[in-house]
Amino acid sequence: MNHHYRLTPHLVVVLEDVVDIGNVHEVQRWMCAVARTGEHRSVVADVRSPLLTSTALHMLFAFQGVVNDEGRSLSLLVRHPLALKVLRLTDLHAAFHLVPALPEPLGAAKVRGWG
């Protein structure tokens, strides 16, 4: 089930479901509504589904535009090796800012003595 949470100053949008033509409009409306609310500097789309469809890729491109229009940045955390392989084989990994792990909450580095 898709959900979201805050990891100050980031918003994390978790995509566990496969996005296809049957649910893309519902998922996209939900993601855009969540991204437009709250005080966050960036959005991380945490893609947990092993299947990254062409519909999902189009939706993520559109979502990136919405996030950028709000003055925020979008990063993708793609957890499943097969989904990551799809991004690389289609050469779309360069179109998104991919991150290897979730960002740390603001101030976490200072707590551990980093700064």
Separation of alpha carbons 51 and 101, rounded Å = 19
Residues 93 and 28: their CA atoms lie apart, in Å, by: 20
Other CB atoms within 10 Å distance of the CB of residue 70:
14
Q: What is the pLDDT of residues 37-89, one digit of tens each?
A: 888 999 999 999 999 999 999 999 999 999 999 999 999 999 999 999 989 99
Q: Which of 18-27, 49-58, 103-112 has the lowest average pLDDT?
A: 103-112
Q: What is the pLDDT of residue 28?
A: 97
| Confidence class for position 105, pLDDT limits 50, 70, 90 | low
Q: What is the pLDDT of residue 37?
A: 86
Q: Which domains does the chain have, with CATH numbers?
A: 3-111 (3.30.750.24)
Amino acid symbol at 115: G
The pLDDT of residue 92:
86
